[in-house]
C-alpha cells in the first residue's frame, strides 16, 4: 500500500518502521525528525500525494488541525486519513468532518502500549470511523499492533482512550496513596501486595505495573521511575478527559482531582520526566492535608 506518514517522533518512527518492514511503500514528513530508514518528503502535502492511507502521529489537536488543513486538499479522493495521535475529541471530529467533506475517509485511532509497544508492533488501536474506513486500515493496525477495537463513529476512539487513561490515572493515585498509608501503618509492602493483588482492591496498576520498587510486577519503579509512561503524558491525557467532560457536562470528580494532582506534580514539584507511578515516592514524603 502507498502510505504517507506524518509525525515521526518517539511513537511515529517505530510505527512507520514496522510498515516498511512489512513491505509497504511509506513516504514520511516531520518538521524536526529525519529517520534514515524512510523516504522523506519536503512537505506534508508532498508526503500524502498519491497515498491510499495517510497516518498522522502528532503532539496535539492544534497541530493536527494545522496539518490536516494542509494535507486534505492534497490527498487522493477516497483515501483514508488515519490520525493515531492522542487529541481532544472536538479536534478529532472537526478533522474527520473536514476530510469527509473533501471526499476522504477519516479514522481517529489513538493507541495504547507506549514506545515499547510501537517498536514491538504490539499497540492497541481504538478506532472511531465508518465500517468501510475501518476495513481499509485494519490490515495496517495488524502490522503495528496486536489489537484494534472499532469503537464507533468519529471521535469514539479518542473518547475510549481518554476514559481508559482517566481510570488509569485515578487508579495509579489510589494504589500509590494506599502503599504510602500502609507504610505509615507499619504494614510490610510485600504483604500489602500479596493481599491486595488477590483481593477486591486489585487493579492493573497494582498487579501489572506495581509502583513499589522490588514488589510485584517488574515496572519503572524498579528502574528509578524512568518512564515508561511519563507523568507529563498522563497529565496531558487527564487534561483531555477534563476538556471532554466540560464540553458534555459530565461529572468526573475523581478525574478532576487526578488531573490536579498530576498538574502539581509535573508543574510545581519534581514529576516532569518521571514515570507516572512515581506518585508513590511523592506520597511517601508528604503529610496529611498538605
| Least distance to ligand NAD, CB of residue 233, Å | 6
Whole-angstrom CA distances from 129 to 57, 79, 82, 167 are: 17, 13, 9, 24
Query: What is the C-alpha separation between 257 and 165, in angstroms, rounded?
Result: 14
Q: What is the DSSP letter of 27?
A: E
| Least distance to ligand NAD, CB of residue 120, Å | 13
Q: Does 32 bind ligand NAD (CB under 6 A)?
A: yes
Cβ(78)–Cβ(105) under 8 Å? yes
Q: Does 35 bind ligand NAD (CB under 6 A)?
A: no
Q: Tell me how many residues contact ligand NAD (CB under 6 A).
A: 27
Q: Which residue has the cell 504483604?
A: 191
For ligand NAD, the closer CB: 70 or 76? 70
**Near ligand NAD by CB under 6 A: residue from 1, 33, 40, 149:** 33
| Least distance to ligand NAD, CB of residue 3, Å | 15
Q: Does 95 bind ligand NAD (CB under 6 A)?
A: no
Closest residue to ligand NAD in the complex (CB): 9
Neighbouring residues of 80: CB distance < 8 A, sequence distance ≥ 6:
52, 53, 54, 104, 105, 106, 107, 133, 136, 137
| Least distance to ligand NAD, CB of residue 218, Å | 18
**Near ligand NAD by CB under 6 A: residue from 114, 152, 201, 213:** 114
For ligand NAD, the closer CB: 60 or 197? 60
Of 242, 191, 229, 233, residue with least CA distance to 212: 191
Neighbouring residues of 10: CB distance < 8 A, sequence distance ≥ 6:
115, 118
Q: How many residues does the chain have?
A: 290
Q: Does 91 bind ligand NAD (CB under 6 A)?
A: no
The catalytic position among 2, 136, 161, 285 is: 161
Is there a catalytic annotation at residue 285?
no
Pairing of strands 123-128, 111-112: antiparallel
Q: Does 10 bind ligand NAD (CB under 6 A)?
A: yes
Q: Does 11 bind ligand NAD (CB under 6 A)?
A: yes
Q: Does 115 bind ligand NAD (CB under 6 A)?
A: yes
Q: Does 170 bind ligand NAD (CB under 6 A)?
A: no
Pairing of strands 80-83, 53-56: parallel
**CB 102: neighbour CB atoms within 10 A?**
15
If DSSP codes are grouped into helix, strand and coil, which group holds residue 121?
coil
For ligand NAD, the closer CB: 49 or 189? 49
Site string for ligand NAD, 41-70 (x = CB under 6 A): ---x------------xxx---x--xx---
Q: Which helix (H) or strand (E) holds 101?
A: helix 89-101
Residues classed as catalytic: 161
Which residues are near ligand NAD by CB under 6 A?
6-12, 29-33, 44, 57-59, 63, 66-67, 85-86, 111, 114-115, 229, 233, 236
Amino acid at each position: 500500500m502507498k502510505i504517507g506518514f506524518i509525525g515521526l517522533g518517539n511513537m511515529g518512527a517505530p510505527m512507520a518502521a514496522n510498515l516498511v518492514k512489512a513491505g509497504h511503500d511509506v513516504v514520511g514528513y516531520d518538521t524536526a525528525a529525519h529517520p534514515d530508514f524512510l523516504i522523506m518528503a519536503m512537505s506534508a502535502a508532498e508526503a500524502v500525494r498519491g497515498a491510499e492511507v495517510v497516518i498522522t502521529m502528532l503532539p496535539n489537536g492544534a497541530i493536527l488541525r494545522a496539518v490536516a488543513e494542509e494535507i486534505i486538499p492534497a490527498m487522493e479522493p477516497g483515501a483514508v486519513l488515519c490520525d493515531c495521535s492522542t487529541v481532544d475529541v472536538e479536534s478529532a471530529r472537526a478533522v474527520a468532518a473536514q476530510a469527509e467533506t473533501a471526499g476522504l475517509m477519516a479514522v481517529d485511532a489513538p493507541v495504547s502500549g507506549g514506545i515499547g509497544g510501537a517498536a514491538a508492533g504490539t499497540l492497541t488501536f481504538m478506532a472511531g470511523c465508518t465500517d468501510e474506513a475501518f476495513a481499509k486500515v485494519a490490515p495496517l493496525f495488524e502490522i503495528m499492533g496486536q489489537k484494534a477495537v472499532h469503537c464507533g463513529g468519529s471521535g469514539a476512539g479518542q473518547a475510549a482512550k481518554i476514559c481508559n487513561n482517566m481510570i488509569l490515572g485515578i487508579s495509579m493515585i489510589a494504589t500509590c496513596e494506599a502503599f504510602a498509608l500502609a507504610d505509615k501503618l507499619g504494614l510490610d509492602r510485600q504483604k500489602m501486595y500479596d493481599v491486595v493483588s488477590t483481593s477486591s482492591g486489585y487493579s492493573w496498576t497494582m498487579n501489572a505495573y506495581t509502583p513499589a520498587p522490588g514488589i510485584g510486577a517488574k515496572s519503572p519503579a524498579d528502574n528509578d521511575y524512568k518512564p515508561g509512561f511519563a507523568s507529563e503524558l498522563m497529565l496531558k491525557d487527564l487534561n483531555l478527559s477534563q476538556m471532554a467532560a466540560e464540553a458534555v457536562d459530565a461529572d468526573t470528580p475523581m478525574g478532576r482531582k487526578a488531573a490536579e494532582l498530576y498538574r502539581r506534580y509535573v508543574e510545581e514539584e519534581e514529576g516532569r520526566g518521571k514515570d507516572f507511578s512515581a506518585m508513590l515516592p511523592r506520597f511517601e514524603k508528604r503529610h496529611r492535608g498538605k
